[in-house]
Amino acid sequence: MRPLGAAAGLTLTLGVGTAAYAGVVERRRYTLRRAEGTLPGLRAPLRILHISDIHYVPGQRRAFEWLRQLADLKPDLVINTGDNLSHPDAVDEVLDALAALRQFPGAFVPGSNDYFAPQLKNPLKYLGGPSQPHQEHGEPTLDTAALHRGFESTGWADLTNAGASLQVGESRIRLAGTDDAHIERDDFPGWPGEEEGARIGVTHAPVRSVLAEFAEAEAGIVFAGHTHGGQVCLPGGRALVTNCDLPARQAKGLSRIDRSGTPSLRGRTLLHVSAGIGTSRTAPLRLFCPPEATLLTLTPPESRASG
């Protein structure tokens, strides 16, 4: 019995140690990712900072300072794919944390946690499939309007089932976004205007039906969040779940999709999924999946070919 007791003790110790690491160390190990790709319609290279899933709770000083430092990157464009909040009193502080970034051109869409405060859930349920949306037909419990007013006050474009056309440097950028498909609020608006330009899709949850709409409309790239990169992953960052119908191998990073929204090496549309910056305050764990933002450098296709 002693060997069994020792093994049980070791297993318990490892489990407690892993949980402590995931809850204290890993979820605060903020990381900047860099990626490169090509985007038809560009006239010059474009540096996009993609932020997502901040899930801010008042008093998160380390997250606050790291978010403020992202402005030092001086991106050409900031894309925010939602779930900024995880507390009813977080609006003012998260707007302050993003104040320096909001001086750059940007665009945003909401996630469900910009409408509704998180509810306590058993995290093991995610292994059985996507979470069931809560309160999807009820009144929002968070001050979404104040958050969006703050973003718009410094010029960020609201892409909640809407489009916008921006001149960023030498390039005309045509943006289209949707509300969160995870709570069935999405309604693809089409591209704004008739002018030429690079086509960028923005959404929170990378649900395949929404990705297919963007790809069918010939988006050059789609930005999304929601997955948290799997949040609790196997060694090497291998995701087990995405909390939607996106394959686990696309839980974070850059990939390609075809017109059906399916992963395809020959797909003409790029997909960038952010692993996100925070976690729900009801499940403050990350394992082999540190919080991140991504600086994505996109170039005209002919530039990549000539290089």
The pTM of this model reads: 0.89
Domain layout of the chain by residue ranges: 2-306
Assigned token pair, 107: 């665009």
Instruction: Tell whether the model's pLDDT for residue 7 goes beyond 50.
Output: no
In the structure, what pLDDT confidence band is assigned to residue 132 with cuts at 50, 70 and 90? low
Q: For residue 140, what pLDDT is reported?
A: 84
Q: For residue 121, what pLDDT is reported?
A: 58
What is the rounded average pLDDT of the residues 248-276?
A: 97
Element (H, E) at 296: strand 292-299
Look up the CATH number of domain 2-306. 3.60.21.10
For residue 112, the tally of other CB atoms under 10 A from its CB is: 25
Q: For residue 127, what pLDDT is reported?
A: 54
Instruction: Tell whether the model's pLDDT for residue 5 goes beyond 50.
Output: no
For residue 271, the tally of other CB atoms under 10 A from its CB is: 24
Nearest alpha-carbon partner for 296 in 233, 239, 253, 264: 253
For residue 97, the tally of other CB atoms under 10 A from its CB is: 22
Separate counts of helices (H) and strands (E) for the chain? 6, 12
CA separation for the pair 289, 25 (Å, rounded): 11
Instruction: Tell whether the model's pLDDT for residue 12 goes beyond 50.
Output: no
